[in-house]
Structure 1
Amino acid sequence: MDLGLNGRKALVCGASEGIGYAAAKLLASEGVNLVLVARNEEKLEGAAAALKDLHAVNVDYVAADLGHKEERAKVLSYCSDPDILIHNGGWPRTERDFRKWSNDDWLRALDLMMLSPIELITGVIDGMAERKFGRIVAVTSRFVKEPSAELALSTSPRLGLSGFITGVARKYAAHNVTLNTALPGIIATETQFQHGRDLAEAAGKSFDQIWAERSSTNSANRFATPEEFASLCVFLCSAHSGFLTGQHILSDGAGYPGVF
């Protein structure tokens, strides 16, 4: 399927590896010019070079930590007019006991996972509306639909972002600008591989045991590939998805136990 994106411009965050890189690669295959964002400049440079080798598109990059306001401003000054924004960020790595989270922990989490995408969206959405085309996708988490106390530091800001996305989507739908969130289950990224190694060490088990145990948490009995999840994000960016907006779409191999 031709996604109708040839010649468009996308700002893709967290794009040096994993889901972000997979999304950038799929967009490039559709003829989309790219601005990649991630913290590690060396990895970004390598990702940009690889994408240029694969596809005849323009690929630029900005090394920035989106957990800081001044870094977000740097990204917007470099790329203020994308047709597509995919926000894919990190999460706070801290103590899992919510009773030990400090006010500073909460502020950092809010800055990284709620204010970061909100500021980027605010900075680009009016230009999208003027051009009568815009696609915004924020990658959140399956735990938005299935919260746990241990992950509330990341889930709570993401729930706030989800409310913002739905509200703003209603305001811009008539301008052919869509906003959605994509909720991943377990995805076979380097972050998950490292998490598996950490869990294996803590539990005194092999990595393969831990990987199999975690795979069994969904009905597909496996981790998704980054490309599988990225394909959802990229379809939400397509010319065919103009009536699909304000939604929070889960891709987790039927791991979620509910209906809605």
Structure 2
Amino acid sequence: MDMGFAGRRALITGASQGIGEGLARSFASEGCDLSLVARSAEKLEALAGELRSAHGVKVDVLSLDMTKAGAIGDIIAFAGHADILVNNAGAIPTGTLWEVDEDAWRSGWELKVFGYINLTRAMYAEMKARGRGVILNNIGNGAQNFDFNYIAGTTGNAALMAFTCALGGRSLEDGIRVVGVNPGPVATERIARVLKGHAVRLLGDEARSGELLARYPLGRAATAAEIADLFVYLASSRSNYTTGTIITVDGGITSKRSVA
């Protein structure tokens, strides 16, 4: 299936590892040029070289901390011409209301919540001037599964769902689509750390994290490629009527609730 990415460019934040790396690989495999942003210059350069060699696409990289003053302007100068923005940078800390203090809460939201909002605001203006564009927000199914032990994240993700739907409800008037994706657990280093923490809290031993993993659908977390390929489809011309909505891909976890 031709996704129509020839001559198009995707700007991906948090692109050096995890889902972000998976996103870069999936978009490159479809012939999409890339602008990759993350903190680690070494990881970005290594990934960029691999993708150029494997797929013959153009890949530019920018290493910076998105929470620093002026970072959004730097990103726009670097890749404001991109056709697609994928907001992916950031991980909000786990913990209860008393375990996540104000500083940690604000720090987590500064990158993921306000980072998404501020970069979207800037990129939307660029896209509106051209009359076209796609903005995709990688949010997380914690937005739909309110979690006492992930209170800063579940609250932040819910805010990003509302932001995405509010903006995307009218964005087609400007030729822009805005869509959110809520992945469930994904096989990354982060989910391994989270499961170890849960195993300590629930089972008293981080070595038993595999028991928690086995409870997921199919007995595993999703692969990064399974998530990234959905983003590719949503960014493509095959999905031109999709905006102002959230798509959850978590093996049915969110829909598994039952009163019995």
**Shared fold, TM over 0.5:** yes
Partners of 1:148 and 1:200 lie apart in 2 by: 16
Supply the AA of the counterpart residue of 2:242. Answer: L
How far the C-alpha of 1:32 sits from its partner, in A, is: 1.1
Note the 1:81-230 alignment, pairs <5 A.
Answer: 81-93=81-93, 96-197=95-196, 203-204=204-205, 206=207, 209-218=208-217, 220-230=218-228
Supply the AA of the counterpart residue of 1:3. Answer: M
Preserved CA contact (<8 Å) 1:89 1:113: yes
Partners of 2:82 and 2:28 lie apart in 1 by: 14
Partners of 2:151 and 2:219 lie apart in 1 by: 25
How far the C-alpha of 1:73 sits from its partner, in A, is: 2.7
How far the C-alpha of 1:168 sits from its partner, in A, is: 1.3
Partners of 1:126 and 1:106 lie apart in 2 by: 29
Please state whether the residue corresponding to 1:99 is helix, strand or coil. coil
- Tell me the equivalent position of 2:29: 29
How far the C-alpha of 1:165 sits from its partner, in A, is: 1.4
Preserved CA contact (<8 Å) 2:128 2:175: yes
Partners of 1:103 and 1:127 lie apart in 2 by: 34
Q: Over aligned residue pairs, what C-alpha RMSD do you find?
A: 2.1
Using the size of structure 1 for normalisation, the TM-score is: 0.90
Please state whether the residue corresponding to 2:252 is helix, strand or coil. coil
- Tell me the equivalent position of 1:12: 12
Preserved CA contact (<8 Å) 2:131 2:174: yes
- Tell me the equivalent position of 2:253: 255
Comparing 190-199 and 33-42, the one that deviates more? 190-199
How far the C-alpha of 1:162 sits from its partner, in A, is: 1.7
How far the C-alpha of 1:137 sits from its partner, in A, is: 0.8
Q: How many residues align?
A: 255
- Tell me the equivalent position of 1:55: 55
Partners of 2:251 and 2:214 lie apart in 1 by: 10
Please state whether the residue corresponding to 1:154 is helix, strand or coil. helix
- Tell me the equivalent position of 1:46: 46
Partners of 1:100 and 1:212 lie apart in 2 by: 25
- Tell me the equivalent position of 1:233: 231
- Relative to structure 1, the CA distance from residue 68 to residue 143 in structure 2 (aligned partners, 3 Å threshold; closer, same or farther) is same
Using the size of structure 2 for normalisation, the TM-score is: 0.90
How far the C-alpha of 1:258 sits from its partner, in A, is: 4.6
Question: 1:74-114 CA deviation, whole Å, 9 max, x = no partner?
Answer: 222211121001111222336x1303443333322331221
Partners of 2:103 and 2:199 lie apart in 1 by: 30
Supply the AA of the counterpart residue of 1:41. Answer: A
Please state whether the residue corresponding to 1:150 is helix, strand or coil. coil
How far the C-alpha of 1:9 sits from its partner, in A, is: 0.9
Q: Matched residues, percent identical? A: 29
Partners of 2:73 and 2:150 lie apart in 1 by: 28
Mind listing any 5+ residue stretches in structure 1 that lack a counterpart?
A: none
Partners of 1:167 and 1:173 lie apart in 2 by: 12
Supply the AA of the counterpart residue of 2:27. Answer: L
Mind listing any 5+ residue stretches in structure 2 that lack a counterpart?
A: none
Please state whether the residue corresponding to 1:37 is helix, strand or coil. strand
Partners of 2:200 and 2:101 lie apart in 1 by: 27
- Relative to structure 1, the CA distance from residue 215 to residue 247 in structure 2 (aligned partners, 3 Å threshold; closer, same or farther) is farther
